[in-house]
Amino acid sequence: MCGITGYVGEEEAAPLLYNGLKRMEYRGYDSAGIATISGNQLVVKKDAGKVAEINNYLDFLSMRGKIGIAHTRWATHGGVTKENAHPHVSCKIDVAVIHNGIIENHQQLKEALKADGHIFNSETDTEVIAHLLEKHAEKHKDSKRIVLETVKDLKGSFAFLAIFASDPETLIGARKDAPLAIGITRRGNFIASDILAFIDYTDRVIFLDNREIAVVKQDKVQIYNFAGRPVQKQITQVAWEAKDTSKAEFAHYTTKEIHEQPQTLKAALYQDQDKIKRFVEAVKQSEHVNITACGTSYHAGLVLRNLLARLAKIRSGITLSSEFAHDAELIGPDSLLIGLSQSGETADLLSAVADAKKKGAEVFSILNVVGSTLDRESALSLSINCGPEIGVAATKSFTGQLAIAYLLAFSVVDDMRRLSELRNIWKAVEEVLKQEDKVVDVADKYKDCNDFYFVGRGLHLPIALEGALKLKELAYNHAEGMAGGELKHGTLALIEEGTPVVVLNPEDETYDEMLSNASEMKARGARIIGVSNKPNQIYDEFIEIPKVDKLLYPLIEVIPLQMLAYHAAVLRKKDPDYPRNLAKSVTVK
Ligand code: F6R
Render pLDDT for 395-419 as a digit per residue (tens, 0 to 9): 999 999 999 999 999 999 999 999 9
Q: What is the spatial distance between Cα 460 and Cα 551, in angstroms, rounded to a whole number? A: 10
pLDDT tens sequence across 193-210: 989 899 999 999 999 999
CATH of 244-423, one of 1.10.357.10, 3.40.50.10490, 3.40.605.10, 3.40.50.300: 3.40.50.10490
pLDDT tens sequence across 441-453: 999 999 999 999 9
Would you please indicate which residues are annotated as catalytic (active-site) residues? Answer: 2, 584
pLDDT tens sequence across 286-319: 999 999 999 999 999 999 999 999 999 999 999 9
**Start and end residues for every CATH 3.40.50.10490 domain found in the chain:** 244-423, 433-581
Instruction: Report CA(25)–ligand 1 centroid distance (Å).
Output: 16
Upstream peptide bond of 333 is cis (omega within 30 degrees of 0): no
Instruction: Report CA(307)–ligand 1 centroid distance (Å).
Output: 21
pLDDT for 28: 65
Instruction: Report CA(204)–ligand 1 centroid distance (Å).
Output: 26
Q: What is the spatial distance between Cα 208 and Cα 4, in angstroms, rounded to a whole number? A: 14
Identity (one letter) of the amino acid at 384?
I
Mode of pairing for the β-strands spanning 67-73 and 31-38: antiparallel
Ligand 1 atom closest to 397 (CA): 14
pLDDT tens sequence across 482-508: 999 999 999 989 999 999 999 999 999
Ligand 1 contact via 386 beta carbon (within 6 Å):
no
Q: What is the spatial distance between Cα 390 and Cα 249, in angstroms, rounded to a whole number? A: 15
pLDDT for 26: 72
pLDDT for 2: 84
Mean pLDDT of 26-36: 86
CA 109 to chain CA centroid, Å, is 31
Mean pLDDT of 348-377: 95
CATH 3.40.50.280 describes domain 433-581: no
Q: Is the pLDDT of residue 249 over 90?
A: no
Ligand 1 atom closest to 295 (CA): 9
Report CA torsion sign: 274, 275, 278, 279.
negative
Q: Confidence band (pLDDT; 50, 70, 90) for 580?
A: confident
Ligand 1 contact via 294 beta carbon (within 6 Å):
yes
Mean pLDDT of 276-291: 96
Q: Is the pLDDT of residue 584 over 70?
A: no
Ligand 1 contact via 383 beta carbon (within 6 Å):
no
Three-class DSSP labels, 228-254: CCEECCCCEECCCCHHHHCCCCCCCHH
Mode of pairing for the β-strands spanning 451-456 and 500-504: parallel
CB atoms within 10 A of CB 232: 5
pLDDT for 485: 95
* Sheet with 527-532, edge to edge strand ranges: 478-483, 451-456, 500-504, 527-532, 541-544
Q: What is the spatial distance between Cα 196 and Cα 198, in angstroms, rounded to a whole number? A: 5
When the pLDDT of each residue in the chain is averaged and rounded to a whole number, the result is: 94
* DSSP-derived secondary structure letter, 552: G
Which CATH number applies to 3-237? 3.60.20.10
Ligand 1 contact via 587 beta carbon (within 6 Å):
no
- Structure-model confidence comparison of residues 371 and 244, the more confident one: 371
Q: Please, what is the Cα angle at 225 between 224 and 226, to 5 degrees?
A: 120
| Residue 406, helix vs strand vs coil | helix
Q: Is the pLDDT of residue 324 over 70?
A: yes
Indicate yes or no: pTM above 0.75: yes
Ligand 1 contact via 473 beta carbon (within 6 Å):
yes
Pocket test for ligand 1, best of 27, 253, 291, 296 (most atoms within 8 A of CB): 296
Ligand 1 contact via 122 beta carbon (within 6 Å):
no
Q: Confidence band (pLDDT; 50, 70, 90) for 16?
A: very high
52's enclosing H/E stretch is helix 51-58
Phi and psi at residue 555, to the nearest 5°:
-65, -25
Output the DSSP codes for 470-537.
HHHHHH--EEEEEEGGGGGGTGGGG--TT-EEEEE--SSTTHHHHHHHHHHHHHTTPEEEEEESS--T
CB atoms within 10 A of CB 195: 26
Contacts of 108 (CB under 8 A, 6+ apart): none
Residue with CA closest to ligand 1 atom 11: 295
Q: What is the spatial distance between Cα 510 and Cα 484, in angstroms, rounded to a whole number? A: 9
Q: What percent of the chain has pLDDT over 70?
A: 98
